[in-house]
Amino acid sequence: MQLKKLRKKIDQIDKTIVELINQRAKQVIQVGLWKKARKLSTYSPEREAALLANLKKISRGPLMGEDVENIFREILSACRSQGANLKIAYLGPQGTFTHLAAIKKFGKKADYLTQESISDVFASVERMQADYGVVPIENSTEGAVNYTLDMFFDSSLNICSEVTLNISHALLGRKLKGIRKVYSNPQVFAQCRAWLGRFLKGVELIPVNSTAKAAKEAKKDPLAACIGNKILANLYGLKVVASSIEDSPNNYTRFLVIARNDSPPSGKDKTSILFSVKDRVGALHDILASFKDLGISLTKIESRPSKKKAWEYYFFVDFQGHRSSPSVQKALKKLGRRCSFVKILGSYPRF
């Protein structure tokens, strides 16, 4: 009788939840109509970031903050879909870590457009075939994804959001014994270097564009395997031969959401820029010192060859703050005077 009473109470709570979610969806439809009349996007990264942060703050448990966020991301996704589904381009095929990051950001109700390369993701958004694109930018153990950095040199797109994904790799195939080839993305091989050297020393490592592409290739050959997320095993008819083979358990990859515009201030923002320094002694030091003088915290700096002139470099910098804030505007003005080239890639909510 006690169990029956408890379940009845749960059923009543579930009924109330469904009624409230539908009420929320109706309000979202009205917001969507208002935005459509003004030709505004139905997705607001700054609003979503602030909303999720507040929900985690007011939750008193027993659900963890991450649980609350995961539940509400799907609610947000379902409510948005009552208008027109967002089209999201990502580095595919289905089952890549970029695909999982895109789902984590936009929920399962969005329309996902698989792309064969990072440049194709950029092109899809630039040609307005997709509303947003998701691309990897850096890994906590292996550093920057240089191809993504290079795409920002000439692209007109902005960064409007970011998402971080905990990465765990598995060896997928038929069996561990007898493997002659292993397919995966070059960054993934680097993240599993120690395990491969211990258990598959001498096996041929074949680099491909994505972990999903690796799964497709491994499926063709009974003596081949691939490295990727466990979800690929179900998608491509493989077995999980070994789990958690990454060298570091604290293995995270950061992904950027690219769009035709960046985001308004959310209160907790990050700005990304690209610049090149003038050829004089102490130029880079003076630029970095200007951020310190204005109390702006740098979170990333990466150099890349310009590919236009030998020994000329561009610098990618992430720092805390929105480009519209007075302190950031002062810093950017100083950059303009001290640099030969400055490009603002976007301001967006910090993940």
Give the ranges where 81-199 is alpha helix by DSSP (H): 97-106, 118-126, 146-151, 186-191, 193-199
Residue 255 annotated among the catalytic residues of the structure: yes
Checking DSSP bridges between strand 170-173 and strand 239-242, what pairing results, if any? antiparallel
What is the Cβ-side half-sphere exposure of residue 239, based on CA atoms within 13 angstroms? 8
Q: Which residues pair with 202 in a beta bridge?
A: none
Q: Could you tell me the CA-to-CA distances from 279 to 33, 273, 320 in Å, in that order?
A: 52, 19, 27
Structural domains present in the chain:
1-84 (1.20.59.10), 85-167+253-261 (3.40.190.10), 170-250 (3.40.190.10), 263-349 (3.30.70.260)
Strand, coil or helix: what is 288? helix
**C-alpha–C-alpha distance, residues 275 and 287, integer Å:** 10
Tell me which DSSP letter residue 344 carries. Answer: E
Give the ranges where 81-181 is alpha helix by DSSP (H): 97-106, 118-126, 146-151
Residue 253 annotated among the catalytic residues of the structure: yes
Peptide bond connecting 349 to the previous residue in cis, omega within 30 degrees of 0: no
Note down pLDDT in tens along the chain; length 351 residues.
789 999 999 999 999 999 999 999 999 999 988 988 888 888 889 998 889 989 999 998 899 988 999 899 899 988 888 877 889 999 888 888 899 999 999 988 899 999 988 999 999 999 999 999 999 999 887 788 888 998 998 899 999 999 999 888 999 998 878 899 999 989 899 999 999 999 999 899 999 988 888 999 999 988 999 999 898 998 888 999 999 999 888 889 999 999 999 999 988 999 999 988 876 777 778 788 888 888 889 999 988 887 666 667 788 999 999 999 999 999 888 888 878 888 999 999 988
Tell me which DSSP letter residue 309 carries. Answer: S
Per-residue pLDDT, 66: 87
The one catalytic residue in 42, 98, 148, 253 is 253
Q: Could you tell me the CA-to-CA distances from 250 to 103, 107, 137, 166, 192 in Å, in that order?
A: 21, 24, 17, 8, 13
3-state helix, strand, coil in the chain (%, to 5): 40, 25, 30
12 exposure class (CB count in 10 Å sphere: 0-12, 13-18, 19+):
exposed
**C-alpha–C-alpha distance, residues 295 and 293, integer Å:** 6
The one catalytic residue in 106, 189, 255, 275 is 255
Q: Burial code of 303-337, b = ≥16 C-beta within 10 A, e = fewer?
A: ebeeeeeeeeebbbbbbbbbbebeebeebbebbee
Q: What is the pTM of this model?
A: 0.84
Q: Which residues pair with 269 in a beta bridge?
A: 349
